[in-house]
Each structure stands twice: as structure tokens, then as C-alpha cells.
Structure 1
């Protein structure tokens, strides 16, 4: 595979990343249930969510994609439009924030357990790194959300249940799974 292929995006992938990021930012900017009131505060929240949550989502997915391409696999992000609709309906009816925007689809004749584990851990580790970048930036309204959302994304994705990343990492290397996942779970539970 040509090294520059790692940085190529298809028009469909760009469309799916854009729509998913827009939907995620909308849901995170929207407090409560019902239809949001669009005012200057909502627009500010939307812009902050686009930057913090959007960057965490996009970089997480691109990390999977880049490592998969490094191993010679075809990989592209595809939105799960049904999941985005479910997320919007849950927000309107219950005020719940649950998002399943899509995934990086990977194809190779054969991926080893190690390759699959490395592809899978790339996303959560990217979120951990991004969380600390937001923490160091110390920008009001942005840093706290960016820190917490990215650590939450990393912790959620390290749950060892298929199809989440944690399942594939645990199958590859239980020690690495534990070193990454346990501190994230303790943080998410407020213990660490």
C-alpha cells in the first residue's frame, strides 16, 4: 500500500464523517428533551461541541482507519444513519444522549489478532491523548468538556463487549487491555 493512501478520503467517507459530526455536535449542544430553542447560547454550545466532541469522534475513527491501512487493509468510515436517527429520537423524547454514529469498516483477507487489537486500541488511546491536550489547553467552556468527553469515549469503547474496541483488545492482549481499561473505568466511576 502506498503510504499516501493512508490520507485519502472518498467522497462518501467525507459526507458520512461530516453528517455524523454535525449530528453528534447537535445532540451534545442540546440540553433536555423536546426540540431545542435555537439562540446564541445554543449556537455557542454547538460550536464548542463540534470542536470537542467532534474532534474526539473524528480522530478516534481516523486512528482506527490509519492503523488498518498501515496493515494493508481497506478501511473507511461509514455512518450508521439509523443510529443517528435513534439518537435524535431519544434526545427529543427522553433527553437521553446516546450516540452510535457509525464505524470504520475494515476489509483484508486476513487480519491477525494482534493487528486487530492494535487497530482497535488506536481509537481509545487517541481519545486519552486528546483528553490531555484539552486539559493542558485550559480554555474556559472547552477544556473541561473536551477532557471529560474524550475520557468517556475511551472508557466506553474499552468495555470488553463485542463489537466495542475493548473486546478486540482483550482478545489480543489482556495485559494491555487492563493497563488501558482499568484506569479509564475507575475514572468513569469517580474512583480515580
Structure 2
């Protein structure tokens, strides 16, 4: 399966992964951007947040794109992730200036490799699009297990790295799912909505609900 990930795709995924991880690290250090109040920067804390971002964003972002890729392959298409350098730069700059991550690092581009010129059906397009957010919601469950196994809110208050990692994983994966489920433009939500409204509503409610709850945990 991994042999279907090309060298160029590996490079694009790596660059996008690093850029998003840096963006999320910045907003942890400066929640309101560099124009707002910034506490004293501790290199150890920076490295801790960067490590957590690498794990949570890395797993969430890469598996989201791979869910699209391998679902498309299952339907007989070829698919590869392509980074968007401009959007990656915008993500880092916005994180630094206003403390907000607009993460649209690129997209998984789908090609027909059958040679018969067939057009992807609305159902296929919807299922391929739903695969990414659905995978992120599944990861939310796994990170929730980590969070509560570490002791939940009590452990969070004591500075447990596992609890911090678990909560960050829930927040970031629900954020990725929710953002991609907005039913506009080229986002997954528009294609899922066009295919099956009940499926769209279930995914959207789960994503935005999890996102809201995860940010009320202190």
C-alpha cells in the first residue's frame, strides 16, 4: 500500500506537515498573534508544543489525505496529494499575526487511470470526500481514549503530557474535520452534501460538536 505514495507526494506531505505543525505551535505560544500579549518564551515549552503538534497534526493531516487517496484508488482512480505553497505561507503568517490557523495546505488530486474517460459519480465523489473527515473523527475517539486514560481534566491540571497530547489530538482532528466539512467551494463538505445530506449532517454535527466540547475543557 505504501508503495503507492510517490516520492514527490512524500515531499509535499512532509513540507505541509512541517508548516502546519509550526503554525499550531505558534498559536500555542502566542494565542493572539505577535501583536497581542506574548508570555516569556521557554525553549523547552516551544519544543514540547512543536512535538505535540507534529504528532497530532501529522497523524490527523496525513491520514486525512491518505483516506481520500486510498478511497479513490479503491474506486479505480489514481490520487496524489499536492501542496499549495501560497496557502502554507498564509497559514504560518496568519498564525503569527492573529493567532489563527487557516489550514488549507493543498489537496489530494484525483486522476482517472482507466483510459476509458469515465466520469466519477456523485456517490463516489461524496464517499471519497467523506473519508477524510470521517477518519479525523475516528482519531478524535482514539485521542479521547488517551486523554481519559491519562486522567482527563485532573491530569491536565497537573501538566500531564499524555493528557495535553490527548486533548490537542481531539481539538486538532475535530478542527480539521469541521473545517473540511464546510459546504463551500472545493471543500469536502460541498461534495458530501451534494451526495447525501443525512451523512453530511451526521459528520458535521459530530465534527462541530466535538470541536466545541474540546475547547470547553480546561
- Structure 2 length-normalised TM: 0.79
1:122 is the counterpart of 2:145: no
Match of 1:45 in 2: 49
Match of 2:182 in 1: 159
Encode CA deviations 1:143-170: one digit per residue, 9 max, x unaligned: 0010121112112211111211111011
Match of 2:173 in 1: 150
Deviation of the 1:38 alpha carbon: 7.1
5 Å matches for 1:179-190? Answer: 179-189=202-212
In structure 2, how many angstroms separate the alpha carbons of the residues matched to 1:186 and 1:140? Answer: 20
1:75 is the counterpart of 2:79: yes
Q: More displaced, 28-37 or 140-149?
A: 28-37
In structure 2, how many angstroms separate the alpha carbons of the residues matched to 1:101 and 1:92? Answer: 16
> Is the Cα–Cα contact under 8 Å of residues 17 and 58 in structure 2 kept in the other structure?
yes
Deviation of the 1:105 alpha carbon: 0.5
The runs of 5 or more residues in structure 2 that have no matched partner are: 148-161, 214-218
Aligned length: 187
1:100 is the counterpart of 2:123: no
Equivalent of 2:201, from 172, 178, 181? 178
1:19 is the counterpart of 2:15: yes
- Structure 1 length-normalised TM: 0.89
In structure 2, how many angstroms separate the alpha carbons of the residues matched to 1:118 and 1:83? Answer: 25
In structure 2, how many angstroms separate the alpha carbons of the residues matched to 1:185 and 1:49? Answer: 20
Larger Rg: 2
Change (3 A) 1:143 1:8: same
In structure 1, how many angstroms separate the alpha carbons of the residues matched to 2:53 and 2:176? Answer: 14
1:168 is the counterpart of 2:164: no
Encode CA deviations 1:54-101: one digit per residue, 9 max, x unaligned: 110000000000001111111000100110111122223323222211
SS of the equivalent of 1:97 reads: coil
